[in-house]
Structure 1
Amino acid sequence: MIKLIRFFLFIIILGISVNSQAQIKAAINPENVFLNPPESANPGVLWMWMGSNLSKSGITKDLEALKKEGFNRTTMFSLADVTTPWAGEIGKSPTPELISWTEPWWKLVRHAAEESKRLNMDFGMFNGPSYESSGGPWITPELSMQEICWGQTDVAGNKHISLKINKPKVNPRGNTPWPIYNPKTGLVEKPEIEARNTFYKDIAVIALPATGIVAKQNVIDLTSKMNADGQLEWDAPAGNWIIYRFGHTTTGTLIQPAQWKATGLECDKMSQQAIDFHLDHVIGEIQKHLGDLVGKSFTHVHFDSYEAGDPSWTAKMREEFSARRGYDLLPYLATFAKRTVGNNEESAKFKDDFGATIKDLYRDVYFATIAKKLKKANLTFLAEPYGGPWRQDEVMPFVGKVMTEFWTHKGKYAPYELDPTVAALRKSGQNIIEAEAFTGDPQDSKWNETPAWLKSMGDASFCAGVNRLILHRFVQQPWDDKYKPGATMGQWGTHFDRTQTWWEPGKAMIEYWKRCQALLQWGRINDAKDDFIVSEKTGNADINHIHRSEGNIDVYFVANTNRSPGNAKCTFSIAGKQPELWDPMTGTMRDLPEFEEQNGSTSIQLNFEDSQSYFIVFRKPSEKKSKGNNFPSNKLLGMLDGSWSVKFDEVWGGPKNSVGFKTLTDWTKNADNGIKYYSGTALYTKNFNAEYLSTQNKQDLKLDLGTVKHIASIKLNNVDLGVVWTAPWIVKIPQGLLKKTNNKIEIAVTNVWANRLIGDEQEPADMEWLPGHMNSGSFLKEFPDWFLNNKPRPSKGRYTFTTWNYFTKDSPLISSGLLGPVKIVYSENK
């Protein structure tokens, strides 16, 4: 019996061992992750809940749409109705009871967590109302960020001084980095904060000679000689003196941009009491309302990039400074009043030591406490740990998942604190590097963004080390689907929404990102110098790369991050291996037959369309016998010229019946306003013959769409050929599908929302708008009655509904449609 048990144990262990080895082998094989990206390669979104504009059904639709598209994480922010960029309010809300962090709002958060569990998605949220930074209505002035303040009184000495020293006065307006929209005054301003007049705590009272540099021992501490009412009794030595009363008050820094009823003070990041109180409140509310979902479908709490300003005090600063720096700061308080104590060098040293203490406290109180408390609650600490008064490399080890960011500034990739964050993460050995991705301002992102436009910027971030995109932004759409484009974040962000015209075909872009991110998470970063050299360039391609490796396998991501074609000789510090080209656009892999080996390197001539990218993989011995071209030229076989039948969607203003296009032309040049201002998808249909087919040229056929504005889904003879969304605008035609006669092609072309929005501006207004605060558009003043009562809108020629308007009737239209020429081509590989 014992022998039998041992035998079965041996079989089980052997099975485990074999299975483990198979798993390890699969994990180190880049082909597996490229063809079957793991969940970690799925992108996520920053999910913006805009004020009271929320609904249970909309939350479900959002999550289902994201899951279907290929996303698996949402991080929710509860903001104002719109961002102007400050907090803006839309009047006559249909659901005014939905105030962030109140009971009705928490019911929707619970619903989102339950739906995330059902869909096997990862859900979390920011650590309070707004996106900046850590605070809320629950933060009292005593627990808020603090600033040092002082008043001074001149006295003559050599006598007894008996006088009342008044409390220092400060500007009642908050000491905050940014103004806000103040609904009490209707102005964008730094509002008056009542607590700056009512809250004050003493630090010390000191006396200094009235003029000149003061020796430390000549600073006199009078704190014990003043009573609680400010009455000072002091036998002053001879001479002229200045009495300084130092204290601290709230900075008055408000979180933003939250609903006004949810707005409160930023907490003191250097106070253990304040941070404990804030986090206990946040975590307590999460546990109270989400309970069994915490640590399961609700997984993380986020802290965004820091914009709360620099505090200058905390309640225990004197004790903390003495413990950390080894001397008392009291004699040096006068340096805040621009006095020199000791000498210039000594005063400068104090200022450096004071700044170092602030950095220490942010590390040891703010970041350490967040990490400890979230871990205890089984929640992950997400953060963009930059922009604040701390040492980035010291605080990042506390963060469970670090996120960096890049913007779409002036149509270009614009990283913000990205390179140092990536460097610090690599130093700490972290592999997955997330990025708040494609954050856009109104000059770049006004319902005119396209997947092709986005591609080069995403690729640039990949080359910089990012390997998981978290898109900025996805807005909660609470209303019926007839109200499109729907709710916006206001002026900020690239419009990734389920109401976006190209949302469904845009899934092809998500698949591209998943393949890229899978390989960019595989293996380890290889940052050896001079391991990749670009030479003999032609055209305007801007070629960047990143290199990863594992064992004897090397993977290079090589991308043209310019929207212009070109080619170049690319030299890799690898020899003796067969280069392969893995195309993340299509998921295909092939050998590159043309390459040269010299001095331990492999040189390959690579051709790039605009914004094109490849993985160049070295994993097997080189095959010198292989023949052919790396990039076989495409030869014209036949043109699909002549007329097309085009069907627009009448719901969005298109003609009721199909329209005949004698030639492929831009929609915006059409005399029919229903086409000129059309936004959405139009189906191009054509029947054609292909008599030019022969046995010699039907082996490697492709369909070349020429110019597409802006994304196209293609069917040939009822077979789905996929989606083209960026250059090259070509799809492969499966062998045997094209016939000599009686072929049918269907091309569904989708443009952007801008044209329909501009078209609507040609019509009488039926909504009121207020100007945004950066000359970047207008936001909805109030919800119109026809919307609230679900009635037909008064302006019959208007089709769109949104909360932010970038356009006037004179705004330029965006070129749209299938412009072609559409061709059948074949590859000639010699």
Structure 2
Amino acid sequence: MVVGMWGILGAQAGWGQTDPWPSVGNEAKPWARWWWMGNAINEQTITQLMGEYADVGFGGLEIAPIYGAKGYEQQYLPYLSPDWMAMLRHAVKRGDSLGLGIDLTVGTGWPFGGPQVRLEDAATRVVYRTFEVQAGMPFTKKIVPEDPKQLSAPLLSLTAYDERGHAKVITNRVAADGTLKWQPTNGRWTLYAVFEGKTFQRVKRAAPGGEGYTLNHFSRDALNRYLSRFDSAFHRKPQGIRAFYNDSYEVYGADWSADFFTEFKKRRGYDLRLQVRELFSGDTTANTSRVKSDYRETMAELLLEQFTVPWTQWAHRYGSATKNQAHGSPGNLLDLYAAVDIPEAETFGSSFFPIPGLRRDSADVRNVDPDPVMMKFASSAANVTGKRLASSETFTWLTEHFKTSLAQCKPEVEQCFLAGINHVFYHGVTYSPEEAGWPGWLFYASVNFVPNNSWWPHLDGLNGYITRVQSVLQSGKSDNELLMYWPVYDNWDDADGRMMTFTVHHIDRWLQPTPFYENLQLLHRHGYAVDFISDNLLAAATVSNGRIRTSPDGTPYKALVVPVTRRMPEETLRKLINLARQGATIVLQAVPEDIPGLGNYTKRHTTFKKTVAALPGSGAVISPDVVSALQTQDIHGEPLAAHGLGFIRRNAADGTYYYVVNHQSNAVDAYIPLLAAGNGMALMLDPQSGAFGKTPCVAMNGHYGVRIQLRPGEAVIVKVGAETGGAVPDWDYLGQKLDEIPLANPWQLEFENGGPELPKSLRMDTLQLWTRNPDEVYQTFSGMASYSTTVTVDKTADPALYVLELEKVHESARVYINEQEAGLVWSLPYRLRIGHLLKPGENSVRIEVANLMANRIRDMDRKGMEWRRYHEINFVNIDYKPFDAADWLIQPSGLAGPARIIRYKSE
């Protein structure tokens, strides 16, 4: 039985229903960032476009105003003006009527900033300068910054160091004009002058009315003044916004705030002014590392307490949630993600998957591949704090413009799901009026999910797949069994540099070389499902029946693993001991070496050593082999991993879901034990087609096993532990190959829509790409064409499964058998079950194929046609250089043989 694409709508979970898929609201569907270019928007186009977005299966839009297209300046609406607010209200109202949610970034472009940010509220950086002073020698220099751009920066402190390293603060000896009214009585002294400088960074890609300085994210007063502009525009009334959004932290060089010395002393317990030499030093001493660790910890706390928490409180006053990308910031990622309502990760670039036939152009490969571990910081924060959603900005620069296929999107988004993401945002969709023509307005960073894209009529395939998967991954609770402590102080305890940011692009520096990452990979290979936890989040953990609880609504964890850790606060170590004494399974790979930081070090170090001495009798397990230690505690990983399958579990009220993916080069067909299986029956759900059915489980090594049959690139959802019964059909596995029916009759190729012009129809004896034709009109065409043929089938009464298998699809196809839709073929492997539509004798086969936009864009650039005219960055390629497709090779388009129908025995 095959369920249509939207057969899941309105259905309730459970065995007793005709359709067992979970119910679907708009959050289960994919959402998209919606760029408003120049805010050149109007009600009519908003109405039209939002209807198209809803029709193709989107669940919501995230409005992001940015720079505009040239020639449309008269249509620009100033950001937050009454006219702009009227358009926002219209979009919200239109969304309500279509079931499309609306999110809104609090600003234009990124990061937060705008005309309301005065220089004193702008992003701040520390500026320092050293001077040499000698007893008996006149000092004539002024204590002012050396950089002419920073001459107005106020002096915050002046510290004098003698030749033995003794320091004293002499800030009060500096006159208003910078004259030093101090002279040493002996020796040579080095002066460190610290100023409150500015980065002078302005909002990137700002929309009209949003230009201005970037906000100081370490000052609550600056934030309040920034948000007051929105309070005025909103008249302090809710606007129907589902969530306010903050993009990845890209506040370059911001490493200070006016009150930093005061905040530091309050939090770390000592005067940083007496340690400025270490703060600015390039030395590699332990003392320098400790000072810089304290500095970084203070920065993290300020970002959390002065920006993230009050911003969330502000949003709640409007009845809205917050959605935040913490990566790139100098904060503790887990704490920042946990402080908002919807933590959001990001995928940037393309990943390598060994799926046969999956294209990955060398030009699309970046120096650091996306890593699903990075996404787990967001999903872990959601799981640990009991939040329902973890989102992702998805497909950013997946490939070069106009070259992304839906098939390339599928494993990339699956990687998000396997990392715990369950609320996907496309990057993205651009508002584009009809008069802009083809290709329309486009954002400079691909992928372009726009109605002008050739495969837009097939996007419902990807959207339907994501919707089905997310309907499951948003059900119940996360079912990860392990917690892993993230030793952020090991990162902070580093003498190199000063400010430390945890960026997506530099995980090869701060994440991948660590024992934390090494152990995580090891645990994943052994089938363990892991969430990360920070010191602050761990402080709230409790123990119940031997399980670790991190929130009232969260899933209890079986154990907590601590990788090799150099620096751990004494409070954290004491918490681990207390949890172990209360019956929790705590596994430490090694005893932590010492506390972080410099403040009150001797006393804290002594206390830490006493706490370490209590470890052996606490019940905590200390073992360099964490897997063996867990297995000794009867905590085992899922055998799925031994078969090379990716998986994630979700614990629902009536059973446990397994989402299982095969990203390998080989097929898997085996009975595999599932640790959560609790009876003799399982429910199989196909997120690609919506099909479902029940299958028996078999006893295996004390557990129940389920037959998993996946070719490379395929996924399946298995539900176990539910009550059997209801009108659920049996699940059909593909058994022995019985015979093969080639589609060997001639083909007729008709071009349906696209451009720059429709080529003439073709008749071909064998199936081949339309770009094989040397005529330029075929090689420049982007759009939709249909391949038609007939095939004779001797359909017997014997039970069998008929599968249409296509060798090469460039790039997606909708299949019709006897003029009835059989489904979409848009991802590897290119096959589709069609037996229910075949009849004995002659059958018609029509395959509607969409190619990429690439060939048409190539033709336009070769002819020098102007199609990209934007302010700001204009339009760039994946390497951020001016875009030019003139030298591209022709992208293969259409179908290539062989095409065949395979008859399999049904099992």
TM bucket, shorter chain: 0.7 to 0.9
* Aligned pairs for 1:529-540 within 5 A: 529=528, 530-534=636-640
- Structure-2-length-normalised TM-score: 0.72
Counterpart pick for 2:200 among 239, 252, 258? 252
Counterpart pick for 2:370 among 404, 411, 414? 414
Counterpart pick for 1:303 among 246, 250, 261? 246
- Which amino acid is the alignment partner of residue 329 of structure 2? G
- Which amino acid is the alignment partner of residue 423 of structure 2? R
Counterpart pick for 1:652 among 731, 755, 760? 755
* Aligned twin of 1:744: 844
Q: In 1, Cα distance between the equivalents of 2:439 and 2:164? A: 66
- Which amino acid is the alignment partner of residue 646 of structure 2? N
Q: In 1, Cα distance between the equivalents of 2:53 and 2:75? A: 27
- Range 349-358 or range 730-739, more displaced: 730-739
Q: Relative to 1, partners in 2 of residues 1:391 and 1:552: Cα closer, same or farther, differing over 3 Å?
A: same
Q: In 2, Cα distance between the equivalents of 1:448 and 1:685? A: 26
Matched, 1:439 2:542: no
- Which amino acid is the alignment partner of residue 273 of structure 2? L
Q: Relative to 1, partners in 2 of residues 1:598 and 1:739: Cα closer, same or farther, differing over 3 Å?
A: closer
The DSSP-based 3-state class of the residue aligned with 2:827 is: coil
Counterpart pick for 2:464 among 511, 515, 529? 511
Spell out, residue by residue over 1:481-539, the C-alpha distance to the aligned partner (whole angstroms, 9 max, x if none): 7x22222211x2322122211112220221111111111222222234444214886xx
Q: In 2, Cα distance between the equivalents of 1:381 and 1:617? A: 32
Q: In 2, Cα distance between the equivalents of 1:332 and 1:400? A: 38
* Aligned twin of 2:449: 496
- Structure-1-length-normalised TM-score: 0.79
The DSSP-based 3-state class of the residue aligned with 1:388 is: coil
* Aligned twin of 1:817: 894
* Aligned twin of 1:404: 345
Counterpart pick for 1:320 among 246, 263, 270? 263
Deviation at 1:140, TM superposition (A): 1.6
Q: Which has the larger radius of gyration?
A: 1
Deviation at 1:629, TM superposition (A): 7.4
Contact 2:267 2:298 in 1 (8 A): yes
Counterpart pick for 1:130 among 106, 109, 126? 109
Q: In 2, Cα distance between the equivalents of 1:774 and 1:551? A: 48
- Which amino acid is the alignment partner of residue 138 of structure 1? Q
Deviation at 1:102, TM superposition (A): 5.1
* Aligned twin of 1:165: 142
Aligned length: 720
Deviation at 1:295, TM superposition (A): 4.4
Deviation at 1:236, TM superposition (A): 3.7
- Range 645-654 or range 667-676, more displaced: 645-654
* Aligned pairs for 1:551-562 within 5 A: 553-562=655-664
Q: In 2, Cα distance between the equivalents of 1:818 and 1:651? A: 17
- Range 556-565 or range 649-658, more displaced: 649-658
Spell out, residue by residue over 1:638-687, the C-alpha distance to the aligned partner (whole angstroms, 9 max, x if none): 43322222211475145564322222111121133222332111122335
Q: Relative to 1, partners in 2 of residues 1:261 and 1:575: Cα closer, same or farther, differing over 3 Å?
A: closer
Contact 1:301 1:380 in 2 (8 A): yes
Q: Relative to 1, partners in 2 of residues 1:807 and 1:713: Cα closer, same or farther, differing over 3 Å?
A: same
Q: Relative to 1, partners in 2 of residues 1:39 and 1:756: Cα closer, same or farther, differing over 3 Å?
A: same
Counterpart pick for 2:165 among 213, 218, 229? 213
Contact 2:816 2:846 in 1 (8 A): yes
Q: In 2, Cα distance between the equivalents of 1:59 and 1:627? A: 45
Deviation at 1:825, TM superposition (A): 4.0
Q: In 2, Cα distance between the equivalents of 1:495 and 1:778? A: 18
Q: Relative to 1, partners in 2 of residues 1:313 and 1:628: Cα closer, same or farther, differing over 3 Å?
A: closer
Spell out, residue by residue over 1:267-310, the C-alpha distance to the aligned partner (whole angstroms, 9 max, x if none): 1112222111112223433x04xx76x342x2321111112135
Counterpart pick for 2:323 among 379, 382, 401? 382
Spell out, residue by residue over 1:46-96, the C-alpha distance to the aligned partner (whole angstroms, 9 max, x if none): 112233655544333331111112212111222234xxxxxxxx6444546
Q: Relative to 1, partners in 2 of residues 1:338 and 1:824: Cα closer, same or farther, differing over 3 Å?
A: closer
The DSSP-based 3-state class of the residue aligned with 2:297 is: helix
Q: Relative to 1, partners in 2 of residues 1:414 and 1:223: Cα closer, same or farther, differing over 3 Å?
A: closer
* Aligned pairs for 1:45-64 within 5 A: 45-51=32-38, 54-64=41-51
Q: Relative to 1, partners in 2 of residues 1:628 and 1:369: Cα closer, same or farther, differing over 3 Å?
A: closer
Spell out, residue by residue over 1:333-386, the C-alpha distance to the aligned partner (whole angstroms, 9 max, x if none): 34455499xx96666544333332222211211112101211122221110122
Spell out, residue by residue over 1:380-409, the C-alpha distance to the aligned partner (whole angstroms, 9 max, x if none): 111012221222233333201111122342
What is the aligned-residue RMSD (CA, Å)?
A: 3.5
* Aligned twin of 1:371: 312
More strand by share: 1
Contact 1:552 1:619 in 2 (8 A): yes
- Percent identical: 19
The DSSP-based 3-state class of the residue aligned with 1:359 is: helix
- Which amino acid is the alignment partner of residue 560 of structure 1? N
Spell out, residue by residue over 1:414-457, the C-alpha distance to the aligned partner (whole angstroms, 9 max, x if none): 2362122222322212232211112225xx23212122222122
Counterpart pick for 1:329 among 265, 272, 276? 272
- Which amino acid is the alignment partner of residue 319 of structure 2? N
Matched, 1:592 2:695: yes
Contact 2:802 2:834 in 1 (8 A): yes
Unpaired runs of 5+ residues, structure 2, are 1-10, 354-368, 482-527, 529-635
Contact 2:754 2:784 in 1 (8 A): no
* Aligned twin of 2:120: 142
Contact 1:667 1:678 in 2 (8 A): no
Contact 2:817 2:837 in 1 (8 A): no
Q: Relative to 1, partners in 2 of residues 1:345 and 1:598: Cα closer, same or farther, differing over 3 Å?
A: closer
* Aligned twin of 2:885: 807
* Aligned twin of 2:27: 40
Matched, 1:640 2:743: yes
Q: In 2, Cα distance between the equivalents of 1:208 and 1:30? A: 79
Contact 1:460 1:561 in 2 (8 A): no
Q: Relative to 1, partners in 2 of residues 1:110 and 1:415: Cα closer, same or farther, differing over 3 Å?
A: farther
The DSSP-based 3-state class of the residue aligned with 2:456 is: coil
Contact 1:384 1:402 in 2 (8 A): yes
* Aligned twin of 2:216: 268
Contact 1:52 1:93 in 2 (8 A): no
Q: In 2, Cα distance between the equivalents of 1:50 and 1:745? A: 43
Q: Relative to 1, partners in 2 of residues 1:688 and 1:559: Cα closer, same or farther, differing over 3 Å?
A: closer
The DSSP-based 3-state class of the residue aligned with 2:809 is: strand
The DSSP-based 3-state class of the residue aligned with 1:757 is: helix
Contact 1:79 1:259 in 2 (8 A): yes
Spell out, residue by residue over 1:81-140, the C-alpha distance to the aligned partner (whole angstroms, 9 max, x if none): 4xxxxxxxx644454644545565445434323322332321122121213x22123212
Counterpart pick for 2:772 among 669, 680, 686? 669
Counterpart pick for 1:394 among 335, 339, 348? 335
* Aligned pairs for 1:419-818 within 5 A: 419-440=376-397, 444-480=399-435, 483-490=437-444, 492-528=445-481, 529=528, 530-534=636-640, 542-550=644-652, 553-562=655-664, 565-567=667-669, 570-573=672-675, 574=677, 576-592=679-695, 596-619=698-721, 630-636=733-739, 638-649=741-752, 652-655=755-758, 657-687=760-790, 689-690=792-793, 692-696=794-798, 700-733=801-834, 735=836, 738-741=839-842, 743-763=843-863, 765=865, 776=879, 805-808=883-886, 810-818=887-895
Contact 2:750 2:786 in 1 (8 A): yes
Q: Relative to 1, partners in 2 of residues 1:627 and 1:154: Cα closer, same or farther, differing over 3 Å?
A: closer
Contact 2:645 2:661 in 1 (8 A): yes
Contact 1:579 1:617 in 2 (8 A): yes
